[in-house]
Structure 1
Amino acid sequence: MKQTLQEEPMLASRRFFRHWQGTTVRHCDLDPNDHVTNSVFGAWFDDGRYGLLKQYLRPIVAQSDVFALVSVTIDFSREIAFGELPEVGTAILEVGRSSIIMGQGLFIAGACAASCRSVTVMMDGVSRRPRPLNEAERDILMSFAGLRENAAADWS
């Protein structure tokens, strides 16, 4: 089993995620082996993270403040081919003082093709230093906490 799935086995369960974003496999995403190249998985996970932050957190965050990705781990479980329809599920695993730990799953026809764990830090746009998340920001983020009880049957 992959490291990310050992740490967070629920990332392989569709029922764990509250935020979803579909994407498209483009011909230019393919490598010489005719499957999606690994760097595209990273871009899809980035789109999923940013989609959640932009839609729900950005409206209440100062425009000068930034979300800085400081760590990302991706584990690949299967190939993705042209014509398949990937979906990225994103969930909040933990909220720290200024950090947001997210877990993600990339699914094809209900099966997990890759999982991701990342850490994003909220930064003050002027000082370029981490700044604490306020209560309203924490509440929004926690509304996207992973649904562990719903996913438990898939990974227990």
Structure 2
Amino acid sequence: MSKTLNSSLHDFKHRSPIQIRFNDIDQLSHVTNSVYQQYFDLGRLNYFTDVFEEQMDWESKGLILASITINYLKPIKMWDKIEVLSRIVEIGNKSLRMEQKIMNHSMNSIAAESQCVMVCYSNSLGETIKIPENWQKRIIAFENSVKLRVKI
């Protein structure tokens, strides 16, 4: 990996290897753009399971997408080796902001970038809730730097 590319990725401490499936491929012989969202979803789920050291109880509290943007930079082919890099960059009272990248190791390049805002939500209450303090502490302990918009 080039020094420039490597240095721009050092802040991403969480990595999720992704298996490309045959049905991910379109007529142009690359991963169809809607599948990139699924890869980012897998990266987010793995991130929270690993950092929180527990599986979310989606009924009582979980994180739902409020907004997401994806920039498609390079195509991904069937046999490429890829992984999703994820990090939290900002935490608020009820929401957080995450950045993600799909690293294509076969091409030594970033295939896509994503930014999303997630809101803490209780399905049983049917409303947004504060991000639990223990989640905030685990994210802060895991990440190198997080912008806080809330006191914990």
Provide the TM-score with structure 1 as the length reference: 0.79
- Contact residue 75 and residue 115 of structure 1 kept, 8 A: yes
- Asked if residue 84 in structure 1 is aligned to residue 113 in structure 2, the reply is no
Structure with larger RCO (C-alpha < 8 A, sep 6+): 1
| Structure 1 residues 134 and 28: alpha-carbon distance in aligned structure 2, compared to 1, 3 A threshold | closer
Deviation at 1:57, TM superposition (A): 2.7
Q: 1:125 to 1:58 in 2, by over 3 A?
A: farther
The verdict on how the C-alpha distance between 1:64 and 1:135 changes in structure 2, with shifts beyond 3 A counting, is closer
Structure having the larger proportion of residues in strand: 2
Q: Which residue of 2 aligns with 1:100?
A: 96
What secondary structure, in the 3-state scheme, does the structure 2 residue paired with 1:42 have?
helix
What's the TM-score once normalised by structure 2's chain length?
0.80
Partner Cα separation in structure 2 for residue 33 and residue 147 of structure 1: 40
Q: Which residue pairs with 1:122 in the alignment?
A: 120
Structure 1 unmatched runs, 5+ = 1-9, 149-156
Please list, as runs of the form range in 1=range in 2, the aligned pairs for 1:1-156 lying within 5 A after superposition. Answer: 13-57=8-52, 59=54, 64-109=60-105, 110-145=108-143
Worse-matched range after superposition: 134-143 or 72-81? 134-143
State the distance in 2 between where 1:72 and 1:33 align: 25
The structure that is helix-richer by fraction is 1
Partner of 1:151 in structure 2? none
Question: Could you tell me the percent identity over the aligned residues?
Answer: 26
Cα deviation, residue 60, structure 1: 8.2
C-alpha separation in 1, matches of 2:144 and 2:71: 19
Question: Contact 1:92/1:144 (CA < 8 Å) preserved in 2?
Answer: no
Q: How much does 1:146 deviate?
A: 5.5
Q: AA paired with 2:40?
A: F
Deviations 1:18-64 (A, max 9, x none): 11000112221111101100011110001001111123337386662
- Count the aligned residue pairs: 138
Q: Indicate if the aligned counterparts of 2:49 and 2:56 stay in contact, CA closer than 8 A.
A: no
Please say if residues 82 and 104 of structure 2, whose CA atoms lie closer than 8 Å, have aligned partners that are also in contact: yes
Q: Unpaired segments of 5 or more residues in structure 2?
A: 147-152
* Aligned counterparts of 1:36 and 1:96: Cα–Cα separation in 2: 34
Q: SS of the counterpart of 1:32?
A: coil
